[in-house]
Chain A
Amino acid sequence: MRHTISLLLENEAGALSRVAALFSARGYNIESLTVAPTQDPTMSRMTIVTRGSDGVIEQITKQLNKLIDVIKLVDLTEGTNIERELLLLKVKAATNNQREEIKRLVDIFGGRIIDVGEANYTIELTGKCGKIDAFIKAIEEPLIIEVVRSGVSGISRGNKSLHI
């Protein structure tokens, strides 16, 4: 099953590579991984999307917790959560037809055109993975020049939070 695991880790050199190395050394799969500092510059927040049986996910969370740099961890999948991904997409927009069609799709999906080139548009879209997938699918493939996805960031709903 797909799980979204969120962690707080020390903002130490090498912390990210410890996490990445753990996944490769133990043969766990990473679908996406995002990381950036929090309001406290000594701490980073990481979101990992992974897949595995219950046993594997249990081991993943235990092994992550065992890393000295990991301060706290929560499996967001266990409660209700909000997940968002950012997409930056560059598409061909040479003809009027193409421009119209793309604008229409961007409106439907609630994205924005953030850069207009001579023959291309750059689009920004945030949403759940599935929405991003659907948007990319909706664009005719030959029009796509570049796809940049941030990977998933996650947070739990309501009163629940991951903090120290």
Chain B
Amino acid sequence: MASETERLTGAEILIRCLAAEGVEFVFGYPGGSVLHIYDALFKQDKIQHILVRHEQGATHAADGYARSTGKPGVVLVTSGPGATNAVTGIATAYMDSIPMVVITGQVPTFLIGNDAFQEVDSVGITRPCVKHNFLIDDVKKLASTIKKAFFIATSGRQGPVVIDIPKDITAHFADFVYPETMEMRSYKPIVVGHPGQIRKAAELILSAKRPMIYTGGGVISANASEQLIEFTRLLGYPITQTLMGLGSYPATDSQFVGMLGMHGTYEANMGMHESDVLIAIGARFDDRVTGDLPKFCPDAKIIHIDVDPSSISKTVRVDIPIVGSVEQVLQDLINAIRDTGQKPNADALSTWWMQINAWRAKNCLRYDRNSELIKPQFVIEKLYEVTQGDAFITSDVGQHQMFAAQFYKFDKPRRWINSGGLGTMGFGLPAAMGVQLAYPNAPVVCITGEASIQMCIQELSTCKQFDLPIKVVNLNNRYMGMVRQWQEMFYDKRYSHSYMDALPDFVKLAESYGHVGLSITKPADVEGALREALAIKDRLVFMDFIIDQTENVYPMVTAGKGQHEMLERELA
């Protein structure tokens, strides 16, 4: 029987394509240029549209959905201000290599270039912060372009892709055919690592006396946790992770030495610095990780596994680069190590672990547990206990983010959702919406600060509309804490505009949005409040923790210092 192709409008084709991609949610906000698309959305029931309150919220929500599930997040916004509002969220996803497809409406084709109402060059504006973008000029190309967009967003080093669709095209008709597969002559991500390089890496790894495994977000993107755990346990080597990498190896495991970098643990940074073989996996030697480059890992031979060739030797020259999918390369590397029949140098390793344990004994994350004021670290520790380490945690940007990374021990990947690369305040709450939609019955906690939360606070309304029982932990220090910390340390305590004056009453604010608000002012009440909040399964609870204003994040590698030159907390 000859299959009959259907004639559909561009808007209908778009929706059908999304459905064919298995898209569950579209995070969006309507406007003139996308009205045909919204009409098509109205007439179907496969895809749920989540109406946000600001397009930035849509992008972060889609991003949170993507980070927690591994599936691409989808956004739909109108032309002009809709698109520009989405840019922060697109850039956030780009910096952290998060798969996302963003549909922006555009003025009709015949008006493009005329400075039409709500016209903006969306392809131009987003070009530097997308993996790729498209402007559709013919409805016949729509379906194949959408296929390409999903293919590009979710393969290789993942990232956001923008599709700009002029309004007239969403009304034009075309035969609907959705391609099953996509081949592009100009885009062929490398999956399998070079066998010779893998063999060389295996030899170097086995010859190590002071090895360190350093992993980043790439392990999570590649869903390579299982391989990473097998690899790390097979060798018995210490492992440290970046802010983006947390969770892909269990933080409660004894081989885990904590996060590295600017606010990494003493043992992780010293271990990096003293290592003789560094195995970098899905990490990109970011400046927040390396500290002063000339002082970075002076004795180490470096192996670098990454899916993106341009990440290799970008900031730090490496000795054995392996380009390929992290999951595949790790599996091949495990096999190559096994094939040698050799074991790591047990004597050297035990000496190395003694050294690492001596560094560990410094207890670099210590803080004053007897404080009369609530310490942010204490809140996170209690949150960890109360959620038994099994919640999805999103965060904003600042001290609270670092405390969350240091004190919540993530044992599973895709549980720690934060803006690492761009450091976008306002990310936490909308990201939590995407996570909660993906996992309606799981505890989802947004750890935030009173400055960050106000950057996307309007999304409390979205949470109400869609009954998202997110738990907000607001570590309220009445300061842009991270800014204040830098001003205290490097600007002689001139707290220039880092004070959050005129704060709202967050409890009343939450209540006015229809949520539950709790104010917590004493350390003794912290655990009770968390238990109470987490017991409320069907409501959003906003916990406003009034914390010590003076607390700082330590250890700290300050600008121009090597990773081994950390400032530490002084305790009375």
Q: Complex formed: what's the CA distance from A68 to B426 in Å?
A: 30
B194 interface residue per 8 A CB criterion: no
A59-B314 contact, Cβ under 8 Å, with A17-B124, A21-B127, A68-B132: yes
B127 and A18 within 8 A (CB): yes
A100 interface residue per 8 A CB criterion: no
Contact of A66 (CB < 8 Å), options: B128, B137, B308: B308
The A24-77 residues at the B interface (CB cut-off 8 A) are: 25, 55, 58-59, 62-63, 65-66, 68-71
Q: Complex formed: what's the CA distance from A71 to B312 in Å?
A: 21
Q: Complex formed: what's the CA distance from A10 to B148 in Å?
A: 14
Q: Which of A58, A63, A66 has the most CB of B within 10 A?
A: A66
Q: How many residues of B contact A (CB 8 A)?
A: 21
A59 and B124 within 8 A (CB): no
For the complex formed, measure the closest distance between the CB of A119 and the CB atoms of chain B, giving whole angstroms.
41
A102 interface residue per 8 A CB criterion: no
A70 and B309 within 8 A (CB): no
Q: How many residues of A contact B (CB 8 A)?
A: 20
A148 interface residue per 8 A CB criterion: no
A55-B186 contact, Cβ under 8 Å, with A13-B135, A68-B131: no
Residues of A within 8 A of B308 (CB): 66
Q: Which residue of A lies closest to B128 (CB)?
A: A25
For the complex formed, measure the closest distance between the CB of B32 and the CB atoms of chain A, giving whole angstroms.
24
Contact of A55 (CB < 8 Å), options: B185, B310, B313: B313
Q: Which residue of B lies closest to A65 (CB)?
A: B309
Q: Complex formed: what's the CA distance from A15 to B124 in Å?
A: 11
B8 interface residue per 8 A CB criterion: no
A69-B186 contact, Cβ under 8 Å, with A55-B313, A63-B310: yes
Residues of B within 8 A of A58 (CB): 313
Contact of A14 (CB < 8 Å), options: B123, B185, B314: B123
Residues of B within 8 A of A21 (CB): 127-128
The B168-213 residues at the A interface (CB cut-off 8 A) are: 184-187
For the complex formed, measure the closest distance between the CB of A14 and the CB atoms of chain B, giving whole angstroms.
6
A164 interface residue per 8 A CB criterion: yes
Q: Which residue of A lies closest to B314 (CB)?
A: A59
A10-B186 contact, Cβ under 8 Å, with A17-B127, A66-B309, A66-B310: yes
Contact of B310 (CB < 8 Å), options: A13, A17, A59, A68: A59
For the complex formed, measure the closest distance between the CB of A111 and the CB atoms of chain B, giving whole angstroms.
38
Q: Which residue of A lies closest to B311 (CB)?
A: A62
- Complex A-B, nearest 5 residue pairs according to Cβ-Cβ distance, in ascending order: A62-B310, A71-B186, A68-B132, A62-B309, A68-B187
Given A10-B186, A17-B127, A68-B131; 20 other pairs, CB 8 A cutoff: A9-B186, A13-B137, A14-B133, A14-B135, A17-B124, A21-B127, A25-B128, A55-B313, A55-B317, A59-B310, A62-B312, A65-B310, A66-B308, A66-B309, A68-B132, A68-B152, A69-B186, A70-B186, A71-B186, A164-B185
Interface residues, chain A, with chain B CB atoms under 8 Å away: 9-10, 13-14, 17-18, 21, 25, 55, 58-59, 62-63, 65-66, 68-71, 164
Interface residues, chain B, with chain A CB atoms under 8 Å away: 123-124, 127-128, 131-133, 135, 137, 152, 184-187, 308-310, 312-314, 317
Name 9 A/B residue pairs within 8 A (Cβ), A-sorted.
Answer: A17-B124, A21-B127, A21-B128, A55-B313, A66-B310, A68-B131, A68-B152, A69-B186, A164-B185
